[in-house]
Structure 1
Amino acid sequence: MISNEMAQRINTQINREMYSAYFYLGLSAQAETMNLKGVAAWFLAKHGEELAHALKMYRYLIDQDARVQLSEVAAPASVDGGVLPMFERTLEHERGVTATINEMVDFALSAKDHATNIFLQWFVTEQIEEEATVKDIIGRVRLFGDQGQSLLMIDNELAALAKQIGQGAATAA
Structure 2
Amino acid sequence: MAMNESVSSVLNEQINKELYSAYLYLTFADYYEDRGLKGFANWYEIQAKEEMDHAMAIRRYLLDNDFTPTMEAIAKPDKTFQNDLEPLEAGLEHEEYVTSLIHHCYEVAHEVHDVRTMKFLDWFVSEQGEEETNARDMITNMKLFGSDPKGLYDLDREYQARVYTQLTALPL
For the aligned pair, the TM-score class normalised by the smaller chain equals over 0.9
Partner of 1:36: 37
- Output the CA distance in 1 between the equivalents of 2:138 and 2:160: 13
Partner of 2:168: 172
Shift of 1:147: 4.5
**TM-score under structure 1 normalisation?**
0.93
* Alignment deviations for residues 114-156 of structure 1 (CA, whole Å, 9 cap, x no partner): 1100000010000000000111111111111344111111111
Q: Any idea what SS the aligned residue of 2:81 has?
A: coil
Deviates more, 1:130-139 or 1:141-150: 141-150
- Output the CA distance in 2 between the equivalents of 1:87 and 1:55: 25
Structure 1 segment 51-66 matched on structure 2, within 5 A: 51-66=52-67
Partner of 2:149: 148
Partner of 2:22: 21
Identity of aligned residues (%): 36
**Is the 1:79–1:89 contact (alpha carbons within 8 Å) kept by the matching residues of 2?**
no
1:124 and 2:120 matched? no
One-letter amino acid of the structure 1 residue matched with residue 142 of structure 2: V
Partner of 1:86: 87
**Is the 1:84–1:146 contact (alpha carbons within 8 Å) kept by the matching residues of 2?**
no
What is the total number of aligned residue pairs between the two structures? 168
Regions of 4+ moved over 2 Å:
none
Partner of 1:101: 102
Q: RMSD over aligned Cα, in angstroms? A: 1.2
**Is the 1:24–1:46 contact (alpha carbons within 8 Å) kept by the matching residues of 2?**
yes
- Output the CA distance in 2 between the equivalents of 1:155 and 1:95: 24
Cα separation, partners in 2 of 1:57 and 1:30, compared to 1, 3 Å: same
Q: Structure 2 unaligned runs (5+)? A: none
- Output the CA distance in 1 between the equivalents of 2:151 and 2:3: 50
Q: Structure 1 unaligned runs (5+)? A: none
- Output the CA distance in 1 between the equivalents of 2:150 and 2:98: 33
**TM-score under structure 2 normalisation?**
0.94
**Is the 1:108–1:117 contact (alpha carbons within 8 Å) kept by the matching residues of 2?**
yes
